[in-house]
Amino acid sequence: MQTAFYILGIVAIIATALPLLRYDAWWIRILDFPRLQILVLGAAALAGILAFGRPFEMTGIVIIFLMAAVVAYQAYMMFPYTPFARKQVDQSEDASPENTVAILFANVLMTNRNAAGLLGQIRDIRPDVVLLAETDEWWAGAVAELEDELPHSVLQPQDNTYGLLLYSRLELIDTEVKFLVQDDVPSIHGKLRLPSGRLVEFRCLHPRPPVPTEEDSSSPRDAEILIVGKENRDTNLPFVVFGDLNDVAWSRTNYLFQNISGLLDPRIGRGFYHTFHATLPLIKFPLDHLFHSNHFRLVDFRCLERFGSDHLPVYIKLSLEHDAKDAQEEPEPSEGDVTEAEEAVAFAKEPAHVRNA
C-alpha cells in the first residue's frame, strides 16, 4: 500500500516539475492543463504516506515536503480562478443597451451534427455576436439561418477542424481573415460598431493545440496568442479577444499573454468555468476564453448547455463604461516578459524544419 502512495507522489512531483521548464514540447506543455488533477493526486499521495508510509524516516520526510510543495504550488497557480480571489473585472451596475455587447462562442466539434441544439440556444439567448469554431462547409450550411438575425458575417469554413464562422447583429468594419503563424489556421480580425456608435476592436482565435495528433510543440499556439496580445497595446480602442485558445487559464502562456496585452480575464475571482470536456467528468479544463481591455465591465458570464460537442458554449455580455478604465488596473509586462514574448514569436515564425532541428 505504501509503495503505491510513493509512486503516486513521484508522479505528481514530476508532473509539477516538468512544466517549470521553458521547453515547448507537447508532452511538457500538456502538463499545464491538469493542475486540479495533479493537486488531487498529490493530496491523495500525501494523505496516504502520512497514514500508511514511514513519514518520519528521511525518505518519508523528503517525499512529504515535496508533496506539500506540489499541493501548494498547484493551488497557488489556480487560486486566481476561484471565488476567493479578487475579481479582475468589476461587475457592471450601470449597463446601457447602447454600449453593451453580448457574445456567444463555441467549438462545435466538426463531426457533431446537432446544429439544431446549438441554434436553439442562440435563438433563446439572442447574442449580438456568435463565433463558431471547428466549422466546415456542412456546418456553414447548417447554421446559415443565423444570417437572418445576425446579418453581418465573416465565413471561413475549413475541413481541417480550424474553420471559423462569425455572425453579428452589429456592423462589422475592416474585417479580415489572417493566417498569423500557420497557413491553415485562420483568425478573424476587425472592428464592430456598438449601437452608441463606439467602435470595438476584436480578434477571433482557434490556434492548434500542443498534442501529438495536431502539433508537437506549443510554439505556434503561443506565438499566435502573443501576436494578438501585443496588438492591444497599439490601439486606443476597446479590445476583445475570444475563441477556443486551446490553452488553460492557469498556464504560463496565459499569464504572459495577459501581461503583454494588458487585457483582463473575467474568470479571475469568479471561477474556473470549465468548457472542455463537455461530457467526461474527470477531464475538465477552461479552454475557451474571452479577454478584454479595461474599458469594459462584466454584465453576464456563463457556460451554456452541451449540444453534442466536446466543448460547452460560452456566453459573455460586456458593458462599455466611461469610468471602467480608471477603476480597473491592467496587467503590465516586465522586461523579462517582453523578451520572452518576442523570442516565442520569432521562434514560431521559423520554418518547421528549423524549429524541430
**155/146 Cα distance (integer angstroms):** 12
Q: Looking at residues 220-224, what average pLDDT do you find? A: 95
Q: Looking at residues 319-336, what average pLDDT do you find? A: 94
Return the ∠ at Cα 35 (arms to 30 and 39), rounded to 5°: 140
Q: Looking at residues 100-123, what average pLDDT do you find? A: 98
pLDDT digits (tens, 9 = 90+) for 232-269: 988 899 999 999 999 999 998 999 999 999 999 999 99
Q: Looking at residues 130-140, what average pLDDT do you find? A: 98
Distance of CA 78 to the CA centre of its chain: 14
Q: Does the pLDDT at position 355 exceed 50?
A: no
Q: Does the pLDDT at position 352 exceed 60?
A: no
pLDDT digits (tens, 9 = 90+) for 122-133: 999 999 999 999
* pLDDT the model gives residue 1: 66
Q: What share of the chain is helix, strand, coil (3-state, %, to 5)?
A: 40, 20, 40
Query: In the chain, what is the straight-line distance between the N-terminal and C-terminal CA atoms, in Å?
Result: 44
**306/256 Cα distance (integer angstroms):** 31
Query: Hey, what's the cell of 39?
Result: 493537486
Q: Does the pLDDT at position 53 exceed 80?
A: no
For the chain, where are the alpha helices, taking DSSP H only? 2-17, 26-29, 35-52, 58-78, 115-125, 137-142, 146-149, 219-231, 252-261, 324-327, 335-348, 352-355
* pLDDT the model gives residue 52: 75
Q: Does the pLDDT at position 32 exceed 80?
A: yes
Q: Does the pLDDT at position 96 exceed 80?
A: yes
Distance of CA 69 to the CA centre of its chain: 26
Reply yes or no: is the peptide bond before residue 311 cis, omega within 30 of 0: no
**241/345 Cα distance (integer angstroms):** 18
